[in-house]
Chains A and B, each alone.
Chain A
Amino acid sequence: MTAALLRRHATLLVMPLLVAAFLAVTVAIHPDFGAFDVQSLALGALPLALAAAAQTVVVISGGIDLSVGSLMAVANVLAASTMQHAGFGGALLIAALILLGGALAGAVNGAVLVFSRVPDVVVTLAAGFIWGGIALLILEQPGGGAPQGFLDLAGGTLGGAWLPNALVLLVVVVAAVWLPVRHSRLGLTLYAIGSDRTAAFRSGVGVDRTRLIAYVVGGVFSALGGLALTMTTGIGSPLSGTYYTLSGLAAVVVGGVSLTGGRGGMAGPMFAAYILTLIPTDLIFLNIDPNYGQVIQGTLIVLVVMGGGLATLLRTRA
């Protein structure tokens, strides 16, 4: 019974250990690693973690969203260009509107692919180009800004020097969106359609409706990611799209979510986002060209997926 429980939650155990191992390596090569570095880590990981969250929801439901990064960029430049001269309250209002827009954008993605029967990859790839263009139309050059109070939502350390706001914000926001979904019937149907669409349909699940909702939740997380980009960088950058789409997907895979759908959770990709942020940091500490970070990231993806396959193999052999 305990063994079965351990097996089912293996990623929940392995991922924190992996993060701890990476942190240990970081401290070993850079003994000065302190509260400030923890804060920059949390700031760097925040947008990536939210991109991963957006992708996780969609991937669990058996889809894939290649427009996550571009939608983040739109939210980012919208925020940076409209909040520049707003007060804190105004900024929050704008943020709320942008979240609504994210949900709408996700709904459009979902509706198009449900009604047209065009594969998810094609629809979201196209949507990615469209959002990418719109981001550039809104803000041609990196620029804009946001009130300090809004930046401090992620930048400060309210809970003591070692507990950056960016981390607290991530946990609160992801929990606020995901937990109600996960623990309702909706969460069950998300996993069901990702695991076996026919069986889910025969069990009485509204498959089209559930797919659409997955993209809506994904859109909300993408918009959150865009807002997080504004908070952590202080500006709007219209070209950030591609990086967050692909790295978010990488975090999903490293975090133990099956790309075929139906398996995995939200916690794994969150830890993975931290690991993927630590790698280039470590390389800088080691005085190695940070571009090697991409090589390492790629290697890590393959190793993790292979490791998952190996674990399954050992389990079936045992």
Chain B
Amino acid sequence: MADAATLLEVRDIARRFGSVVALRAATLTVRAGEVHALMGANGAGKSTLVKMLTGVIRPDAGSIQIRGTPRQFRSPAEARGAGLVSVYQDPALVPDLTIAQNLRLARAAPEVVRRWLAQFGFAALDFATVVRTLPLPTLRLIDLARALAAEPDILLLDEITAALPADLAQHVFAVARQWRAQGRSVIFISHRLAEISALCDRATVLRDGVTVGVVDPAQGGEERIVALMLGAPPEQPAAAGIAAAAAPAGPPALRVEGLRSGEKLRDVSFSLAAGEVLGVAALEGQGQEELFDCLAGLRRPDGGSILADGMAQRFRHPADAIRAGMVLVPADRVQALLPQRSVQENIALPLVRRLADWGALPIRAERARVADAVRRLNIDTRAAAEVRRLSGGNQQKVVIARWLAAGFRTLLCFDPTRGIDIGTKRQIYALVRELAAAGAAVLLFTSELPEIALACDRVVVLFGGRVVQELPAAQADEATLLRAAHGLASREGMAA
């Protein structure tokens, strides 16, 4: 098996955390000169495998070989020494240091990093800038450039495209192809199947801690990957055909007129009816964060109006928005949850404020509502004692479950499936459709354009803080959305 062309071979690797078996027998073979996808649903053991490859944790059993030599990594620095460098799911840059200091920290050559950044369109970046002040996509590309500067034989890219707009993601693909052309390897992790099939030569699929297959992801491979990941025939996309053509009657649950806030949010108007899912499509930083923050009471608008069920709203605090029935499901689960508390407590949290401030809590009633929400959302409660130990998908379900238990009118979902596997993703979209069918209004931003058509009835496209287009979901194919999200043919959009 380990012929000369095999760069990395992971054999029958296993690891347990207490009583939970994260990896049972994972195998991964990466050849020289290939882009290799690592796939798996949440909890399949993917992140455990990545942690072992980068020296964060050590395996209980099994072996890792690089070019036929057995290796044991005790830290990312050791893995780097062996030619394996990772770009992690979230930035690995120290926020209070400047770019230059961060490079020095990782012993990366500034000139090389600068050359890569120039290739990514960031030639003008000042290396004396403190990292904290930079936007997320820029950080991701600095991370990438820093990893490339180490000239790794094996480059591990963990969900790097999740935080990148389409134009910047292209640079990542170009790098991966260049690495392949030079006879080096890339391990590519992404939840976007389209990226996998376009870029990767082979895909290793993990399920329940075991490698269940190695697939050629090109044409037709996607469905096979999904089937392997789910361990059952894939269900049909949640909303296909559900999208209602007829405009729902009645007053809009949410109406936004001329809303503006700060530099980013210039002038946004739309209306959202009960029972409708309205998609928001936009590239990074087109005012969508500000829009959702205003609607959730996290930020005060500079102008314009928000009407919930026809009543003008002025939110001074998230509690005001929640009282008006508008609740937020953020992309970063940690923002919404108390990570060290139990599933039950997290779901019960918004309930508490509706109860009397004094006196005993009606614990039994609360328990019933929580249990009901957990059951409805099919939350995996094996690790219910601490929310932080749940997988990302299950955490996101806890966020939705708490609002379900608390009651709401309008659900504001901001990129709810970021970093979540395809199976759970479909469950979340099915849930969103179900909530809408039950009369909720849903505003849904997603950074993954193909998903708009799956879950939404209508789409508004934001560009430069304004609504530039509104379409029924049936016409919202990726190409149309992408063009609109770039501001059609406007100069500004193309230059990004």
Chain A residues within 8 Å of B, Cβ to Cβ:
4, 8, 185, 188-189, 191-192, 194-196, 198-206, 262-263
Contact = CB atoms under 8 A, between A and B. Distances in A.
A203 B75 contact: no
A128 to B, nearest CB: 27
A191 B95 contact: no
Nearest to B129: A4
A192 B54 CA distance: 19
Given A8-B130, A201-B75, A204-B80, A191 B106 contact: no
Given A188-B101, A204-B105, A205-B105, A262 B80 contact: no
Contacts of A188: 97, 101, 104-105
B97 A192 contact: yes
Interface residues of B, number: 23
A195 B94 CA distance: 6
Given A192-B105, A204-B106, A205-B105, A199 B93 contact: yes
A188 B99 CA distance: 12
A202 B97 contact: no
B88 interface: yes
B94 A196 contact: yes
B423 interface: no
Contacts of B95: 195-196, 199, 262
Task: Give the 8 A-B residue pairs with the shortest CB-CB distance, closest first.
Answer: A204-B77, A202-B92, A195-B96, A262-B96, A203-B106, A192-B94, A203-B105, A195-B94
A201 B75 CA distance: 8
Contacts of A200: 94, 105
A191 B131 CA distance: 13
A175 B76 CA distance: 34
Given A203-B105, A204-B105, A204-B106, A191 B96 contact: yes
20 contacts: A4-B128, A185-B105, A189-B105, A191-B101, A192-B94, A192-B97, A192-B105, A196-B96, A199-B93, A199-B95, A200-B94, A201-B75, A202-B54, A202-B92, A203-B93, A204-B76, A204-B107, A206-B75, A206-B77, A262-B95
Contacts of A262: 94-96
B125 to A, nearest CB: 14
A185 B104 CA distance: 8
Contacts of B54: 202
Majority secondary structure of chain B interface residues (helix, strand, loop or mixed): loop
B204 interface: no
Interface string B75-111: 1110010000010100111111100011011110000
Given A188-B104, A204-B106, A262-B95, 4 more contacts: A189-B105, A199-B91, A200-B94, A203-B92
Interface string B110-145: 000000000000000000101000000000000000
Contacts of B101: 188, 191-192
Nearest to B146: A203
Contacts of B107: 204
Interface string B54-71: 101000000000000000
A85 B459 CA distance: 87
Contacts of A198: 92
Contacts of A205: 77, 105
Interface string B27-60: 0000000000000000000000000001010000
A188 B106 CA distance: 11
Given A188-B101, A204-B106, A205-B105, A199 B130 contact: no
A188 to B, nearest CB: 6
A204 B84 CA distance: 13
A204 B149 CA distance: 14
Nearest to B105: A203
A198 B92 CA distance: 7
Interface in B265-303: none
A87 to B, nearest CB: 47
A101 B77 CA distance: 33
A194 B96 CA distance: 9
A8 B102 CA distance: 17
Given A192-B94, A195-B96, A196-B95, A203 B102 contact: yes
A192 B86 CA distance: 19
Nearest to A260: B96
Given A204-B75, A204-B77, A199 B104 contact: no
Contacts of B92: 198-199, 202-203
Residue in B54, B75, B86 whose Cβ sees the most chain A Cβ within 10 Å: B75
Given A185-B104, A188-B101, A188-B104, A202 B96 contact: no
Nearest to B78: A204
A263 B98 CA distance: 12
A192 B130 CA distance: 12
B96 A203 contact: no
A189 B97 CA distance: 10
Interface string B178-211: 0000000000000000000000000000000000
A198 B102 CA distance: 13
Contacts of B77: 204-206
Interface string B434-477: 00000000000000000000000000000000000000000000
B151 to A, nearest CB: 15
Contact of B76 (A192, A201, A263): A201
A195 B132 CA distance: 10
A195 B105 contact: no
B92 to A, nearest CB: 4
A207 to B, nearest CB: 9
Contacts of A204: 75-77, 80, 105-107
A86 B471 CA distance: 90
A31 to B, nearest CB: 44
B146 to A, nearest CB: 8
Contacts of B75: 201, 204, 206
Contacts of B104: 185, 188
Interface string B375-387: 0000000000000
Interface in B398-432: none
A263 B96 contact: yes
B94 A191 contact: yes
Contacts of A191: 94, 96-97, 101
A195 B80 contact: no
A194 B101 CA distance: 14
A205 B101 CA distance: 13
Nearest to A197: B94
A8 B129 CA distance: 10
A97 to B, nearest CB: 35
A60 to B, nearest CB: 10
